[in-house]
Amino acid sequence: MNEQRPWDVVIVGGGIVGVATLYKLQTRYPALRILLLEKEAALADHQTGNNSGVIHSGIYYKPGSYKARNCVNGRRELVAFAKEHGVPHDICGKLIVATNREELPRLEKIYNTGIANGIEGMERIAAERIKEIEPFCEGIAAVRVGCTGIIDFRAATNKMADLALALQPESRVALGETFEEIASTDSGSVVRTSKGTHRTRFAIFCGGLQSDRLAKADGAKVKERIVGFRGDYYDLTEQGHHKVKHLIYPVPDPRFPFLGVHFTRMTDGSIECGPNAVFTFKREGYGKTDFDLKDTIDALTYGGTWKLFFSNMSYGIDEYRRAFSKRLFLRTLKRLIPSLAMEDIKPGRAGVRAMLLGTDGVMVDDFRIERRGNHIHVLNAPSPAATAALAIGEHIVDMAAKELAIAPV
């Protein structure tokens, strides 16, 4: 498909960050003609649509970091957006539960981080109060975070796209169209896709699991590499459903880069347990045995991957064992809810997380967004990027307006 008239902006990637960027750009500059390219047949079909559906508060993140600021601001804006536009959500609150005395200093540190980040609705609670909120949960202390909730991120993404397109009928969301390459010209750029070429003044890449490859296709020198981690979930059966009322999280172990297996009540009323975190041999693979040769070679020929493996060997082995053992997964869940039994859980879905991994084997913790000429790349947007998407989109628009000289209309 050849466009005779150049687009003002082409956005590559139809997850919630890409669509929030479309929405924010179109809201601030309604006259702009914007094209969003998504290779799948639906928006939000990878990380956005396969995450835990949690609206994160911002309590875990380093004060002053881009992630902390944008999570807090983005969360407040996302909740207001959901209320205004009827997106299914519930600000039900969550508990971060310490099950032994060794976890108490870490729990206190999390609470203090929340204070530093301006998180509203927090309180320390004791064992008796835990039981009042979650009768089947066993813990000696907890932090209750009242502003955390759940949302249908797919519905939020589609609503943002609908609102953006309503502002500018000439803008378009192109589904089933895969980005292939981009080349700079005197007047902008030419984007080649599986269905043709598009000329554009600016390009914004929000590729999630493919963000490093998109940057390299644009000629950017990215030392780090995206490595995918699959997260498997179990669902509570009808028999076990009554044992969880809201959201229940463990105190995360700072030695590992994930928050740990937790319980999440979804917007449809179901209860999910998980996820674990295992290296995946296919970046967009959701099955335990999914495999892609290119993805595997990219990951296993990268020194940072092996440094990560060796520094987290015991953790990684435990995660793989749990991935294939319902009994071991249940054992982890019973740390928070000891009464859970095998018949209380059943296998559920899976998601994949994109983590930007440094050459030293350390995951890049903060969001990273960089400009290259008239192109902007979202290189790293791990959790809580879905919660923070509207704030991230606002930041990208600010970058475009300032650095790429988009004039208001």
Q: Give the integer Cα–Cα distance in Å for 350 and 287.
A: 7
Q: Is the pLDDT of residue 357 over 60?
A: yes
Residues of the chain with CATH 3.50.50.60: 7-48+154-223+366-403
314 CB neighbour count, 10 Å cutoff = 8
Contacts of 180 (CB under 8 A, 6+ apart): 192, 193, 194
Give residue 259's pLDDT band: very low, low, confident or very high (50, 70, 90).
confident
Alpha-carbon separation of residue 354 from 11, 210, 249, 334 (angstroms): 19, 8, 21, 28
Count of CB atoms situated within 10 Å of the CB of 166: 11
What average pLDDT does the structure give for the chain? 93
What residues have CB less than 8 Å from 10, skipping those under 6 apart?
A: 34, 35, 36, 37, 189, 191, 198, 200, 202, 203, 204
One of 3.30.9, 1.20.1050, 3.30.450, 3.30.70 is the CATH number of 225-244+253-363, namely 3.30.9
Segments of the chain assigned to CATH 3.30.9: 225-244+253-363
**CATH T-level assignment (fold) for domain 7-48+154-223+366-403:** FAD/NAD(P)-binding domain (3.50.50)
Predicted local distance difference test score (pLDDT) of residue 124: 98
pLDDT at 406 over 70: no
Angle between helices 16-28 and 385-403 (to 10 degrees): 40
Nearest to 232 by CA among 259, 272, 283, 264: 272
Q: What is residue 403's predicted lDDT score, i.e. its pLDDT?
A: 52
Q: What is the pTM of this model?
A: 0.94
Query: Which of 145-149, 172-176, 404-408 is least confident?
Result: 404-408
Tell me the average pLDDT across 335-350: 96
**pLDDT exceeding 90 applies to what percent of the chain?**
85
Find the length of the chain: 409
